[in-house]
A and B are shown apart, each in its own frame.
Chain A
């Protein structure tokens, strides 16, 4: 991909589009393997390859164009029923897509490390094995001639711009004709009297040399005149030629676009979602983020105005001006809430954006591990904040690899266990009480709590004593411990690098939760509970010393008044005994009071903590001791900037109605420290 000189803007648009088209190809070709006769799907694949070929050709990306051209050719045969979909064919196509991805990455860098010849060859090989059986002329389709020839494209555009209808005429001469080439020539002559012929296949030269066979495709620019000349005249003209067996004319624009646009988004799933993005406006994410920040400021100011209005009302009871202010305040409040909602929606993306990449992954993992898998996705339309979407992709990929590699048994083992050879893995997304729940369910062997405990003891993660006391749920939670892997042998697929602890950490950093339900022999369900947005959350405000802290409500199990009788000490550690449950205690005053604050130095003996907030992280409950509970409210998350960096135990900051800064507690890390 060397020596290309592409304007930066063009390249940016191309890369975005290519990314989109490759995504569509990846997921649709994987779907095609299971659903080889789905015409709509084939059209979609063909269109994506076609678009990609056109745009790469436009930018002079030769390798990319050749490869997509080869793909397009056999896809064309498949959609015309001349070629069967085989797994070899799918392999060749997927291999080419991987090649295209590499080529795309290499754009602009000098020299290409990739030789596309083996891919093109694999495609042709896959095409020929079956193609021979169908036995039809291998005349080049008009679409592929036109789309690889910029002159022709320009002529078509010019004709369209001049309000001419560009029409595709197909002609077939009787197979037993001895004058086929003559008849084709005559047909072209007839058509030539009605319009401007743009291109023919076979070419005029081939026809004159009698190399033309008995079929003809013609592209003609044709001026329709109301009441006098119509497209059907073209067909009539061709039919005047002797021995014409079949003649057909249709508008050219239908060729590369779907003839019938389906409006039913739900039925088409992610394919439709991908298509929809082409009708939407692209906005720079940064711009969206800065708008979101402005809305955040508005929310804070609204809260302040409300507070001031309340103060004024107390001071000037019954004053008309204050009343008017109150009304305006309420109205602004409503508008701001609506604006916030719209901004949140503008930042939403359907999870289909990432789900679409998973069928391919599932197929690859299943092949590599000799598993058979039926992978289905559901709820692709479910929308979630784009920042969250970006951050759950890797964790989900990891879970999916695990589900197939470790969850599903090999086909023969499944058969012996009385299960279907093909394992089922289902990835679904849905709304649930103000959250998004993404579930990955497999019908594999499940997780054996007893085996886990044993392995954890062997690895020294827990003591035998602790293992004996552990409930099954707690034992299963062990998989989220760092350095813990249940696989007997680590394979290439699941690898060692990232573990479930990393998965849990990334979900928690999004204020989300991951839980697992499992049954030995029946399979497992991993559930991710995620907030709809990262920009705001419902928080519990608590006071400790002079500071107010926000705790995301999603972690809060309950709040309890701290009675002296709750406190116990186990091995020098303070714990809370709440209704027989022993919970580690974390005093926020210890956390805060590490250094003397201007004013009176904090006396560590002076305990004024009156409440405990029970937070749950994974399967672990922790009691946070606080001085008092302040309020529950919508918290706007603000960055503390790079200079403060990541202070352990603090997830960010927010500004309260009175202008005070409240720190947002990083509950997951506090729970670990307790």
Chain B
């Protein structure tokens, strides 16, 4: 879980992944593992952003397509595609991303609140802020909110 009380000076370690043309970051604390794409079984009537479920070493793990979650155009699965498994409320959830770039350390102060409305054509509801590293911008997103509201405020079928 994200430690909300951390000071801006504290260093953060993040996993950087790619979706479409942009790079995104998520705190490494919530990441359980990163796996290659594997068979996903679609679940009828599940919330829209749930792509399906997969067998994660004998456990059933729901998987979402992050493009769908961010409201981006759906992409193709490539050899670079990965499932980033994160832990939310004690349960694993997989995120399909176009590729995982690196693990990065950055000062907490480099993350600035996201300027509302300035992130093009995507849902800003799950964005924590923008990490400005001088040469590039990384969109940081808030894992805790990732399942709380789907695009269009759809939250049906998600247990509290």
Contact = CB atoms under 8 A, between A and B. Distances in A.
Interface of A: 297, 300-301, 547, 591-592, 594-595, 597-598, 638-650, 653, 655, 659-663
B114 interface: no
Contacts of A655: 55, 58, 60
A649 B44 contact: yes
Contacts of A641: 60-62, 91-93
B10 interface: no
Nearest to B89: A642
B91 A647 contact: no
Contacts of B55: 655, 659-661
Contacts of B159: 642-643, 645-646
A645 B45 CA distance: 10
A655 B147 CA distance: 24
A640 B53 contact: yes
Nearest to B39: A660
Contact of A648 (B45, B61, B62, B147): B45
A649 B42 CA distance: 13
A644 B88 contact: no
A640 B43 contact: yes
A627 B34 CA distance: 34
A644 B53 contact: yes
Give the top 9 A-B pairs by smallest Cβ distance, nearest first.
A642-B159, A647-B45, A661-B41, A645-B157, A648-B45, A647-B46, A645-B159, A641-B91, A644-B62
A662 B43 CA distance: 10
Contacts of A640: 43, 53, 60, 62
Interface of B: 39, 41-47, 50, 53-55, 58-62, 76-77, 88-89, 91-93, 147, 157-159
Contacts of A598: 76-77
B143 to A, nearest CB: 12
B43 A663 contact: yes
Contacts of B60: 638-641, 653, 655, 661
B58 A300 contact: yes
Contacts of A643: 50, 62, 88, 91, 93, 147, 158-159
A661 B44 contact: no
B53 A661 contact: yes
Contact of A653 (B39, B53, B91, B157): B53
A550 to B, nearest CB: 12
A646 B157 contact: yes
Given A638-B60, A642-B159, A647-B46, A547 B53 contact: no
Nearest to B160: A642
B96 to A, nearest CB: 10
Given A640-B60, A643-B62, A645-B159, 14 more contacts: A300-B58, A595-B42, A641-B62, A642-B91, A642-B158, A643-B158, A644-B46, A644-B50, A644-B157, A645-B158, A647-B46, A648-B44, A655-B55, A661-B60
A643 B156 CA distance: 11
Contacts of A595: 42
Given A598-B77, A661-B41, A662-B41, A645 B59 contact: no
Contacts of B43: 640, 644, 647, 650, 663
Interface-central residue, B41, B54, B76, B158, by most chain A CB under 10 Å: B41
Given A642-B91, A645-B158, A592 B59 contact: no
A640 B92 CA distance: 10
A547 B88 CA distance: 27
A646 B50 CA distance: 12
B95 to A, nearest CB: 12
A42 B88 CA distance: 55
Most buried by B among A300, A646, A659, A661: A661
Contacts of B88: 643
Contacts of B39: 659-661
B62 A594 contact: no
7 contacts: A639-B60, A640-B43, A644-B62, A644-B157, A655-B58, A661-B39, A661-B55
Contacts of B157: 644-647
Contacts of A662: 41
Contacts of B62: 640-641, 643-644
B44 A645 contact: no
Contacts of B47: 644-645
Nearest to B61: A641
Nearest to B64: A643
Nearest to B43: A647
A494 B47 CA distance: 38
A592 B42 CA distance: 8
A479 B88 CA distance: 43
Contacts of B46: 644-645, 647, 650
Given A644-B43, A646-B159, A650-B43, A661 B54 contact: yes
B59 to A, nearest CB: 7
A419 B45 CA distance: 54
Contacts of B41: 547, 653, 660-663
A531 to B, nearest CB: 21
A641 B39 CA distance: 18
Contacts of A594: 44-45
Contacts of A644: 43, 46-47, 50, 53, 62, 157
Contacts of A297: 58
B126 to A, nearest CB: 14
Contacts of B50: 643-644
Nearest to B47: A645
A297 B61 CA distance: 14
Contacts of A300: 58
A628 B4 CA distance: 52
A649 B89 contact: no
B42 A547 contact: yes
A433 to B, nearest CB: 30
Contacts of A650: 43-46
Contacts of B147: 643
Nearest to B51: A598
Nearest to B96: A598
Could you say which of A644, A649, A650 has the most chain B C-beta atoms within 10 Å of its C-beta? A644
Contacts of B58: 297, 300-301, 655
A591 B77 CA distance: 24
Contacts of A638: 59-60
Nearest to A297: B58
